[in-house]
Amino acid sequence: MVTFDRGMKTKVICAYRARFPRNIGKMAERILRAVPEQYTLGLDSIILVDRIRRSKSRDAVGIYVRKSASELPHVEIAVETLYEDMPGLVFFLPLVARLLLSEVMFHEVGHHYQTLIRTPKKSAIEKHAEDFSTMMMRRAFPGWRFVLRSLSRLISPLRRSFSNTVIGADTVDIAFGKEKANYEQTQNLESDDNETE
């Protein structure tokens, strides 16, 4: 287990065993630097793990753990789950790997920020975290939506070639938004055409 704590209040802890061509811990540390300290007050750490064990969903990519009697507040990100269905090409495009990790990290930090501002409605929790993530993505990566839309043209054919795999799980699906919806509509139309033949 490796811990990065170069003067930052919130630590990045690498507790994963999966091997990647890039140092995900250093990437996470760089992303964390983009978050103003006011949003991470009291957040002990970002822990990078292979898989999240405490989630109901086996495919969960991130989780925020609130402060309890036995734990300090922290974020867990399942890097193996996040990157497992990615073609190796993604790691040679470091911006893509960083964007995927950033979206998850910012979303979970958004959940921590909710505890600081005491978001009143439970129904608004996920929307608030998504809005926070979008705000931070704009701040950290000006023009990120343009980059993702451009890269979707490259990644979409790769997605189709991995028939049952979903690249980057929900993270890329959220980021690509319209492209995902258009792709699903096309797939539905093609399957309808095949059934009528």
- Domain assignment of residue 13, yes or no: yes
Backbone dihedral region of 90: left (phi > 0), alpha (psi from -120 to 50 degrees) or beta? alpha
pLDDT number for residue 196: 43
Q: Which of 136, 171, 178, 121 is nearest to 39 (CA)?
A: 136
Sign of CA dihedral 180, 181, 184, 185: negative
Number of structural domains found in the chain: 1
Q: Which domain holds residue 51?
A: 2-144
Residue 101's pLDDT is 93
| Closest C-alpha among 79, 63, 105, 99 to residue 18 | 79
- The tens-digit pLDDT sequence of the chain (197 residues) is 555 444 558 999 999 998 887 889 999 999 999 999 999 999 999 999 999 988 777 788 999 999 999 999 999 999 999 888 777 777 777 888 888 899 999 999 999 999 898 866 888 888 999 999 989 988 888 876 676 667 666 655 544 443 333 333 333 343 434 434 443 444 444 444 444 44
Q: Is position 169 within any domain? A: no
The CATH number for 79's domain is: 3.40.390
In a domain, 165, yes or no: no
